[in-house]
């Protein structure tokens, strides 16, 4: 994805981006519920923008969910997640972010990077298309990166560094019981759509629970049945004429049906079924059938209610409505959801929650209560707690007369008496906190990790440097490559989960190294510069001439005076704080002479003696130019590299015996003085 530099963002947003997103599916709160068995086709993408999106990129770019669609799913089997976004127009630029929103407010994804699992903001701009890129993006087994930042911000005036990341990420690991949001952003300002499909990974995001009719209850006037389903189902799969349901004992009784709490237009968990006439007291059964829309009610994975599936209900003379049940609790519940068999008057619920009190292993205070009110009625009451319940155990919620002077009243005007009560179980919160100890070595470090499960923890997963690791409680890792290491630990007790990530450095790298010239003139002092790496305690230099030093950077060294050229092997042994050692060696030649001269004769006969014409010993010459001319004044050889020698040929053709004129110019490296020399040399064959 091309990105917009900070100074341009306000101007370009006005030009390129529409209004705030309001279409269902284009905000985290209205995300499409999806599963792994379908391909989801978006034929157009309404132009809009929400908010700035957090990333780990440090590139001066502002990231936003431009023209987005959001998708929500739950993981039912831990593993890797594969998916692809295939644009209808392959030149379009799509980006995406995957968030873990387990036990979190979905609106908070904009506020923290803690929600992020993986993302790809890489684009397929015109520059990238020229490189053979396409607009397909997602995750697969071919991906190698977890986080891809914006590409080619220079096209809009951005500053380095630039990302040249692939549009394909590696598959992330997702965990059973966790809920995720996938945001797909359409950076290209067109209405073109795309297909989103899941597959290729080992995780399952398909809910295999068979849809069922969970419970049903009748209204006070016996003309409306409220049906509760065991899971969320597609609103669009419900036939408005009510033909998805029948009362076998009262043929033709159903008049119509409508979804309850389907404000986002996608899924529901209960249905209101209207009857043509009131039902007399008695026992009844509500049964699922194929409606005039060609199906029964379908779940989000298109699994249908079984034809003939039924749920009993009873029409009784009017009596108070008891508290029926409490919806299953997640981790650290801050809200309790009470379910009733009959709708409750919202006006009978004390807003301060004083109609209820909770007892259990730890004190629990209630600060509010409210219903999901439709036409002044609610089938459940949400009890808000002053703080989440973090201590596991059996608790009890009881009814009492609130500050409004009553308990609660159902749609039929019947008062639920105090002290009605329900028991419920809460789970302990868990901690992924672990400890580790490092055993340093010279070639490898051993790290011992330790974790003591508490709070009912029964699953844990270690990830080392973004690679899946050991399932053991106390894994042992041996690192042969030192440097920065990252460890992630995820634990769960089936309800509560926690993640801890720790980074630490294995800083015992040891590498001996030093700088020195390859050759040295007879009377020159040789300077050695240590460039070793590590926590070095000792330096042991051996200069190869019978002398040594223990200094980090020894004093300039003078090799013994000799009449001939001689080679010395200089070695450095370094020792670190762990008493580990490493050695570096360098061969240095002490020259016989550094006096620059040109031979007055040479014999290119291949005998290895005086075969070439060139400036001798020009070790300290800079800006050198050496030319050779024949007796006719023609240039036969030229070089600026004194080690490049004339072999007495031109284009491989041997030249005649005779006198050749040479010219040499150079600058003395030490004095800076310029020299221009010329002379003759005889080619002898």
- Residue 261: CB partners within 8 Å, gap ≥ 6? 268, 269, 270, 372, 374
Of the candidates 376, 356, 378, 374, the residue with the CA atom closest to the CA atom of residue 366: 356
- Residue 405: CB partners within 8 Å, gap ≥ 6? none
Share of the chain above pLDDT 70, in %: 93
Lowest mean pLDDT: which of 209-218, 250-259, 464-473? 464-473
What pLDDT shows up at residue 190? 79
Residues 135-189 have pLDDT tens digits of: 899 999 999 999 999 875 443 333 444 445 789 999 999 999 999 999 999 988 8
Strand partners, 44: 192
Mean pLDDT of 578-604: 95
- Residue 244: CB partners within 8 Å, gap ≥ 6? 238, 257, 288, 289, 290, 291, 293, 296, 297, 305
Work out the burial of residue 657: count CB atoms within 10 Å of its CB; fewer than 13 is exposed, 13-18 middle, 19 or more buried: exposed
More confident residue, 128 or 212: 212
Q: Which pair of tokens denotes residue 399? A: 């009814």
C-alpha to C-alpha distances, 93 to 45, 96, 120, 579, 597, nearest whole angstrom: 12, 10, 11, 55, 68
Residues 239-296 have pLDDT tens digits of: 999 999 999 999 999 999 999 987 666 889 999 999 999 999 999 999 999 999 999 9
Rounded to whole angstroms, the Cα distance separating 21 from 49 reads 6
What pLDDT shows up at residue 262? 79
Cβ atoms of 192 and 205 closer than 8 Å: no
Mean pLDDT of 641-670: 94
Rounded to whole angstroms, the Cα distance separating 481 from 511 reads 13
Residues 59-78 have pLDDT tens digits of: 888 999 999 999 999 999 99
Give buried/exposed letters for 197-225 (b at 16+ CB in 10 A, else e).
bbebbebbbbbeeebebebbbbbbeeebb
Phi, psi of 324 (to 5 degrees): -90, -50
Share of the chain above pLDDT 90, in %: 73
Q: Could you tell me the sign of the dihedral formed by the alpha carbons of 506, 512, 515, 518, in that order? A: negative
**Beta-carbon neighbour count of residue 613 at 10 Å?**
23
What pLDDT shows up at residue 43? 87
- Give the model's confidence band at 343: pLDDT under 50 very low, under 70 low, under 90 confident, else very high: confident
More confident residue, 303 or 219: 303
Is 647's pLDDT higher than 90?
Answer: yes
Mean pLDDT of 415-442: 93
Is 8's pLDDT higher than 70?
Answer: no
Rg (CA), the chain: 40
Lowest mean pLDDT: which of 2-16, 140-154, 304-318, 407-421? 2-16
Work out the burial of residue 269: count CB atoms within 10 Å of its CB; fewer than 13 is exposed, 13-18 middle, 19 or more buried: middle
Rounded to whole angstroms, the Cα distance separating 31 from 69 reads 7
Mean pLDDT of 315-321: 82
Of the candidates 455, 544, 449, 442, the residue with the CA atom closest to the CA atom of residue 494: 455
Measured CA angle at 674 (ends 669, 679), to 5 deg: 110
What pLDDT shows up at residue 18? 57
Cβ atoms of 496 and 427 closer than 8 Å: yes
Query: To the nearest whole number, what is the mean pLDDT of the chain?
Result: 89
Measured CA angle at 450 (ends 449, 453), to 5 deg: 140
Work out the burial of residue 193: count CB atoms within 10 Å of its CB; fewer than 13 is exposed, 13-18 middle, 19 or more buried: middle
Question: Does the pTM exceed 0.75?
Answer: no
What pLDDT shows up at residue 155? 38
The torsion defined by the Cα of 17, 19, 20 and 24, in degrees rounded to 10, comes to -100
Give Cα 243 distance to the centre of its chain.
47
Q: Which pair of tokens denotes residue 343? A: 């709708």
Secondary-structure breakdown of the chain: helix, strand, coil percentages, each rounded to the nearest 5: 5, 45, 50
Ramachandran sector of residue 655 (left: φ over 0; alpha: ψ -120 to 50; beta: rest) = beta
More confident residue, 1 or 362: 362
Strand partners, 548: 542
Cβ atoms of 269 and 232 closer than 8 Å: yes
* E-assigned strand segments in 480-535: 483-492, 497-506, 514-515, 519-520, 529-530
What pLDDT shows up at residue 411? 83
Mean pLDDT of 319-342: 90
Of the candidates 510, 513, 463, 512, the residue with the CA atom closest to the CA atom of residue 483: 510
- Give the model's confidence band at 221: pLDDT under 50 very low, under 70 low, under 90 confident, else very high: confident
Phi, psi of 520 (to 5 degrees): -145, 140
Work out the burial of residue 110: count CB atoms within 10 Å of its CB; fewer than 13 is exposed, 13-18 middle, 19 or more buried: middle
C-alpha to C-alpha distances, 440 to 2, 449, 482, 501, 502, nearest whole angstrom: 45, 14, 10, 22, 18
Phi, psi of 614 (to 5 degrees): -170, 165
Residues 535-553 have pLDDT tens digits of: 999 999 999 999 999 999 9
Of the candidates 267, 275, 269, the residue with the CA atom closest to the CA atom of residue 225: 275
- Residue 138: CB partners within 8 Å, gap ≥ 6? 82, 83, 84, 85, 96, 120, 168, 169
The torsion defined by the Cα of 263, 267, 269 and 274, in degrees rounded to 10, comes to 70
Mean pLDDT of 128-139: 68
For residue 95, the number of C-alpha atoms closer than 13 Å in the C-beta half-sphere is: 28
Ramachandran sector of residue 113 (left: φ over 0; alpha: ψ -120 to 50; beta: rest) = alpha
Residues 469-511 have pLDDT tens digits of: 777 889 999 999 999 999 999 999 999 999 999 999 999 999 9
**Beta-carbon neighbour count of residue 251 at 10 Å?**
8
Which H or E element spans position 479?
strand 476-479
* E-assigned strand segments in 219-331: 224-234, 245-246, 254-260, 267-275, 282-288, 310-315, 323-326
**Beta-carbon neighbour count of residue 619 at 10 Å?**
18
- Give the model's confidence band at 40: pLDDT under 50 very low, under 70 low, under 90 confident, else very high: confident
Q: Which pair of tokens denotes residue 681? A: 């040399």
C-alpha to C-alpha distances, 270 to 228, 250, 349, nearest whole angstrom: 4, 22, 22
- Give the model's confidence band at 364: pLDDT under 50 very low, under 70 low, under 90 confident, else very high: very high
What pLDDT shows up at residue 154? 41
All domains in the chain, ordered by first residue: 6-198 (2.60.120.380), 213-315 (2.60.40.1220), 323-426 (2.60.40.1220), 435-506 (2.60.40.10), 514-590 (2.60.40.10), 601-683 (2.60.40)
């Amino acid at each position: 994805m091309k990105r917009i530099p900070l100074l341009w963002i306000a101007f370009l947003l006005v030009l390129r981006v529409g209004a705030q997103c309001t279409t269902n599916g284009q905000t985290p709160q209205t995300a499409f519920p999806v599963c792994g068995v379908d391909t989801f086709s978006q034929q157009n993408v309404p132009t809009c923008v929400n908010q700035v999106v957090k990333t780990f990129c440090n590139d001066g770019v502002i990231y936003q969910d431009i023209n987005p669609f959001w998708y929500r799913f739950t993981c039912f089997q831990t593993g890797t997640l594969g998916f692809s976004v295939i644009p209808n127009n392959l030149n379009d630029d799509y980006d995406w972010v995957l968030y873990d929103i387990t036990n979190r407010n979905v609106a908070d994804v904009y506020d923290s990077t803690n929600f992020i699992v993986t993302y790809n903001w890489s684009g397929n701009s015109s520059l990238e298309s020229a490189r053979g890129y396409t607009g397909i993006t997602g995750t697969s087994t071919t991906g190698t990166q977890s986080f891809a930042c914006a590409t080619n911000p220079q096209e809009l005036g951005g500053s380095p560094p630039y990302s040249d990341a692939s549009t394909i990420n590696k598959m992330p690991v997702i965990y059973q019981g966790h809920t995720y949001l996938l945001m797909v952003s359409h950076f290209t300002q067109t209405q073109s759509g795309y297909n989103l499909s899941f597959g290729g990974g080992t995780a399952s995001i398909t809910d295999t629970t068979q849809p069922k009719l969970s419970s049903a209850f009748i209204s006070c006037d016996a003309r409306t049945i409220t049906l509760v389903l065991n899971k969320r189902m597609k609103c669009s799969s419900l036939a408005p004429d009510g033909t998805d349901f029948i009362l076998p004992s009262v043929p033709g009784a159903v008049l119509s049906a409508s979804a309850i709490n389907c404000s986002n237009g996608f899924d529901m968990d209960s249905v209101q079924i209207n009857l043509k006439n009131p039902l007399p007291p008695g026992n009844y059964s509500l049964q699922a059938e194929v409606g005039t829309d060609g199906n029964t009610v379908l779940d989000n994975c298109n699994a249908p209610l079984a034809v003939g599936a039924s749920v009993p209900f009873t029409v009784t003379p009017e009596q108070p409505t008891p508290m029926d049940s409490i919806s299953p609790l997640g981790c650290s519940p801050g809200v309790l959801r009470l379910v009733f068999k009959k709708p409750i008057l919202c006006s009978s619920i004390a807003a301060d929650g004083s109609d209820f009190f909770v007892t259990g292993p730890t004190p629990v205070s209630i600060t509010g209560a409210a219903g999901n009110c439709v036409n002044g009625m609610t089938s459940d009451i949400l009890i808000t707690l002053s703080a989440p319940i973090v201590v596991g155990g059996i608790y009890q919620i009881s009814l009492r007369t609130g500050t409004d002077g009553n308990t609660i009243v159902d749609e039929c005007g019947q008062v639920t008496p105090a002290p009605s009560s329900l028991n419920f179980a809460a789970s302990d919160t868990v901690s992924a906190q672990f400890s580790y100890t490092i055993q340093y070595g010279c070639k490898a470090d051993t790290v011992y990790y330790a974790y003591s499960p508490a709070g009912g923890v029964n699953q844990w997963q270690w990830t080392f440097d973004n690679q899946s690791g050991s399932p053991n409680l106390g894994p042992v890792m041996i690192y042969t490559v030192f440097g920065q290491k990252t460890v992630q630990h995820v634990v769960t007790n089936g309800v509560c989960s926690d993640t801890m990530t720790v980074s630490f450095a294995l800083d015992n790298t040891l590498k001996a190294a030093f700088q020195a010239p390859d050759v040295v003139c007879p009377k020159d002092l040789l300077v050695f510069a240590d460039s070793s790496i590590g926590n070095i305690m000792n330096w042991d230099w051996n200069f190869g001439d019978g002398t040594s030093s223990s200094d980090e950077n020894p004093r300039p060294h003078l090799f013994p005076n000799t009449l001939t050229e001689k080679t010395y092997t200089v070695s450095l042994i370094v020792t670190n704080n762990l008493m580990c050692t490493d050695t570096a060696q360098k061969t240095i030649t002490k020259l016989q002479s550094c006096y620059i001269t040109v031979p007055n004769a040479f014999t290119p006969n291949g005998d290895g003696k005086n075969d070439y014409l060139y400036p001798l010993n020009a070790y300290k010459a800079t800006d050198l130019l050496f030319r050779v001319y024949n007796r006719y004044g023609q240039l036969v050889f030229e070089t600026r590299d004194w080690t490049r020698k004339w072999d007495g040929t031109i284009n491989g053709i041997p030249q005649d015996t005779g006198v050749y004129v040479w010219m040499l110019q150079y600058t003395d490296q030490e004095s800076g003085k310029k020299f221009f020399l010329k002379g003759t040399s005889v080619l002898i064959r």
